[in-house]
Structure 1
Amino acid sequence: MDSVAGKVVLITGGAGGIGLAVVKKLLQSGTKGISIVDISDESGRRALDEIVATFGENKAIFIRADVTKKTELEGTWYYLLFILLFVGTRGFNNAGISGEIEWQQTLAVNLVAVVEGTYLALQTYLPKYKSGEEGLIVNMASICGFHSFQISPIYCTAKHGLIGLGKALGGEEFYKKYKVRVVTMCPGMVRTPLSEKTEGLFFPDLLQKEIGTLGTIIQAPERVAEGLIEVIKKGKTGSLWVIEDDQPAYEVVVPHYRTMKV
């Protein structure tokens, strides 16, 4: 259905964890060039050094930006337009943090910034500058978008929101208007610094108990990146994809609420 070969990609939160794993996998799969957006200069420069050492020069650029600030987020797209030759365009919204006490910032990064970035890509940049038949936006949610956990109600709220966003923007009318697929990835447990963070959570003593309900295998970020490549190829607009327990990604269909009556 689609391929990443020869495409140009912008990915937020691309300097570490799942984001950096996705960057490397995309380049291995033939992506033409990647714009890595992250708030950390240090992480961004380190990621760029890794990419140059493995893939050579002129495969990626790093843009330091706070995705919660609209002007900075807009600037990442303008920079990409002037630096890279567009052959086709893809956007990956991957930036994320955890934290329940300062919940406004958690929502700002995990939900509001993703909505902002998705709308910029969907309404402004992809329809105008893509040269292929369609564009693609992939938003990184979580299986926490299907479950509710006492340790992280705000994080779960954000991920529930991304699932609703992906389903709505993936509707037929949106696709006919913009010719952009919107796909949502929902990883299970992944071995990243974010998943190991306990400060700022409610009831930290419940962490292991609640995580234990999600499966037995903590995946490497590279496994999520591998699954993402397959989802790019076959994922229909509006679809939701879970990848967990080191197994292939599978599509999830949320039932109509009337079928869930008790």
Structure 2
Amino acid sequence: MDFIAGKVVLITGGAGSIGLAIIKNLLNHGAKGIAIVDISEEAGRKAVNEIGKIFDEKRITFIKTDITNKTELEGAFETTINAYKQLDIVINNAGILDEIEWQNTIAVNLVAVIEGTYLAMQKYLPKYKSGEEGLVINTASICGLHSFQINPVYCATKHGLIGLGKALGGDEFYKKYKVRVLTICPGLMNTPISGRPDGFLFPEVLEKEVGAVCLVAQASERVSEGLIEAIKKGKNGSLWVIENNEPVYEVVVPQHKTMKV
């Protein structure tokens, strides 16, 4: 049986292009209900309208939320429970790129994801999951596996999510909470990223730096397809790369001694 069928999902950044593609794919796989958590009321309502043309609107709920505000973030979890009486999957997908006011990047990409992950693991999934296992998926980036001069703080946040997923995907956490943790790393996208238009540093080397790693800019649908495959195949604590329109694949961060020069 498909793990997604009958499940309730909360996804942050759900009104963006990647979030929207993920939601449609989850609904296609039988998700019972999805809470779309996003800071933009306009984008959220637009997303509900678009999804409602294809699926039953009772299966989707928009919750306007500033995820950097812990009270609002927890309120989104509570609203989801009130709407569906269960919660099985939490996808911390929201992210921005702003190297000028870089504190915002840390607040959204790292702190809010940690808060969302702990709320999911420690408070909500163990109590409200409908099956034996809950699931948390955090969206990192290929920038969590490489370092670019154009976006150092963004890279730092995504490196942090990879470390978070590996640690929380350990046996002791699983035994205590029965929650599987996966991390996905999308490559270059052909969709705009939230943040400042001038959020990159050294824009003159952007194409050179990114082009050395990512060959193809992929559509949001590719990330959603890769995420579904990761859910089906991914073991607790595993890390999955979705890039260059290739099939999703697992990567393993090496033990430090194997990297000695």
Residues 1:79 and 2:79 are matched in the alignment: yes
- 1:10-34 superposed Cα distances (whole Å, 9 cap, x missing partner): 0000001211110111011111110
- What is the match of residue 256 of structure 1? 255
| Superposition TM-score, scaled by structure 1 size | 0.97
Q: CA deviation at 1:220?
A: 0.3
Cα distance in 2 for residues equivalent to 1:198 and 1:49 = 27
Cα distance in 2 for residues equivalent to 1:58 and 1:89 = 17
- 1:76-111 superposed Cα distances (whole Å, 9 cap, x missing partner): 01001111142x610000001001010101100000
Cα distance in 1 for residues equivalent to 2:201 and 2:129 = 44
Q: CA deviation at 1:197?
A: 6.4
Partner of 2:57: helix, strand, or coil?
Answer: coil
- What is the match of residue 33 of structure 1? 33
- What is the match of residue 115 of structure 1? 114
Q: CA deviation at 1:230?
A: 1.0
Q: Which runs of 5+ in 2 are unaligned?
A: none
Cα distance in 2 for residues equivalent to 1:197 and 1:75 = 27
- What is the match of residue 49 of structure 1? 49
Q: Which runs of 5+ in 1 are unaligned?
A: none
Cα distance in 2 for residues equivalent to 1:250 and 1:64 = 33
- What is the match of residue 177 of structure 2? 178
Q: Which amino acid aligns with 1:231?
A: A
- What is the match of residue 69 of structure 2? 69
Partner of 1:236: helix, strand, or coil?
Answer: coil
Partner of 1:54: helix, strand, or coil?
Answer: coil
Q: Which amino acid aligns with 2:186?
A: P
Partner of 1:201: helix, strand, or coil?
Answer: coil
Q: Is the 8 A contact 1:137 1:181 kept in 2?
A: yes
Task: Say if 1:219 and 1:137 are closer, same or farther in 2 by CA, change over 3 A.
Answer: same
| Superposition TM-score, scaled by structure 2 size | 0.97
Partner of 1:55: helix, strand, or coil?
Answer: coil
Cα distance in 1 for residues equivalent to 2:223 and 2:251 = 16
- 1:215-249 superposed Cα distances (whole Å, 9 cap, x missing partner): 22111000110111111111011000001111111
Q: CA deviation at 1:192?
A: 1.5
- What is the match of residue 103 of structure 2? 104
Give the share of equivalent positions with the same residue, in percent.
65
Q: CA deviation at 1:200?
A: 2.0
Q: How many residues align?
A: 261
Q: Is the 8 A contact 1:36 1:63 kept in 2?
A: yes
Cα distance in 2 for residues equivalent to 1:224 and 1:209 = 23
Name whichever of 192-201 and 175-184 sits farther off: 192-201
Cα distance in 1 for residues equivalent to 2:41 and 2:194 = 22
Task: Say if 1:9 and 1:211 are closer, same or farther in 2 by CA, change over 3 A.
Answer: same
Name whichever of 68-77 and 127-136 sits farther off: 127-136
- What is the match of residue 235 of structure 2? 236
Q: Which amino acid aligns with 2:256?
A: Y
Q: CA deviation at 1:141?
A: 0.2
Cα distance in 1 for residues equivalent to 2:175 and 2:2 = 18
Cα distance in 1 for residues equivalent to 2:154 and 2:82 = 35
Cα distance in 1 for residues equivalent to 2:237 and 2:60 = 28
RMSD of aligned residue pairs (Cα, Å): 1.4
